[in-house]
Amino acid sequence: MWQLPFLTFLIIATTLIVRQKHNTPFQHDKGFVFGTVYGITYQCDSNLQKAIIAELDKVDMTMSMFNKKSVISRINRGERIDISETMFEEIYEIAERISEDTDGAFDITVSPLVNAWGFGFKNAMMPTGQQVDSMLQFVGYEKIKLKKENGRTFVEKQDGRSMLDLSSIAKGYGCDRVARLLRSRGVTNFMIDIGGEIVASGTNEKKTPWKIGVTKPTDDSLNADGEIQTILKITDKAMATSGNYRNFYYKDGKKYAHTIDPHTGYPVQHNILSSTVIADNCTTADAYATAFMVMGLDKAKDVLARHPELMAYFIYTGKDGKDTVWYSQSMRDKIAE
């Protein structure tokens, strides 16, 4: 009999918690960061935009190539700074792991080549073959290491000309940092979108899984059409998409896309038009989406076979010249009917 009052209290308390959660409003924040727009929807009884902006500013102060005071700008200038108290060490270790796993297809030292081909933070003329060969001497993730001394951590370059660029995972990492912030505040239902990179948790305002569209690739650098190829159901996962259909240019009748192969120094010519990856965190999804664009369809499938925790959706040019879709078996349940 003594258990009955306790059970009654438990039922009432649970009912009140559920009712309160149901009545908690969703916040909708929008802004501009990392050279793109962001939109964050989250269920919380107070607005957290100031805290979100502060967190994104920390990421910018670590990874921005345009901010001369950022950690990465200082490293690229040759300053020897302790990164142990910054975000940089965590980001670098993720990047290094994925570079090794993809045989260098993902490489954060490719910036000089990206700039040389006119797609980076510096505008340059199209490089000659001799210039590409020269830059390849100091491009390569294995030419950068972390060195620990007396509890401090430094970036060591084999060649002082090497330059780091984390822009390929900046948006994904930014999403992850905001997700950590929201979870630390007890927020469980949210969707973070920074320039098309996504972290989704729980459910949306309709109490259903978040639905994210994958854009159909077209030669439309402004993405004015925005036609949707498919819709994916994302819950408690992160999603990133990389594609050559938005950032490209034509010269002498030939198309040059922004994805540069770190091994050859030239823009990739593979048939993948769009690479979408779902992973447990957005930094990982972002990096693999980029790597798969470099590797091409067959090698990307080999990597996916080693990583059942990753899901991928590729849009590529088939032998008949038409857009074709391939996706991993684990992705099937994510495709909305």
Kindly indicate the confidence band of residue 322, based on its pLDDT and cuts at 50, 70 and 90: confident
If DSSP codes are grouped into helix, strand and coil, which group holds residue 144? strand
106 CB contacts (<8 Å, ≥6 apart)?
95, 98, 99, 141, 168, 287, 288, 290, 291, 294
State pLDDT tens for residues 56-110.
Answer: 999 999 999 989 999 999 999 999 999 998 999 999 999 999 999 999 999 999 9
In a domain, 267, yes or no: no
In a domain, 73, yes or no: yes
Q: Is the dihedral of CA 123, 138, 62, 245 positive or negative?
A: positive
What is the model's pLDDT at position 185? 97
In a domain, 130, yes or no: yes
First to last CA, the chain: 51
CATH number of 93's domain: 1.10.3980.10
In a domain, 153, yes or no: yes
In a domain, 56, yes or no: no
Best CA proximity match to 229, nearest among 219, 216, 241, 218: 216
What is the model's pLDDT at position 15? 47
What is the model's pLDDT at position 114? 84
* Structural domain total, the chain: 1
In a domain, 78, yes or no: yes
State phi, psi for 4 to the nearest 5 degrees: -60, -45
**Across residues 128-157, what is the average pLDDT?**
93
What is the model's pLDDT at position 267? 86
Distance CA 305, CA 329 (A): 11
Q: What percent of the chain has pLDDT over 70?
A: 84
- 105 lies in which domain range? 68-164
Q: Residue ranges of the alpha helices (H) in the chain?
A: 3-23, 49-63, 71-76, 88-101, 111-116, 129-136, 167-184, 282-295, 297-306
Q: Look at the pTM and tell me if it is higher than 0.75.
A: yes
What is the model's pLDDT at position 245? 59
Strands 197-201 and 152-157: unpaired
* 229 contacts 214 by C-beta, under 8 angstroms: yes
**Across residues 263-288, what is the average pLDDT?**
92
In a domain, 11, yes or no: no
Q: Is pLDDT above 80 for 244?
A: no
What is the model's pLDDT at position 243? 83
In a domain, 288, yes or no: no
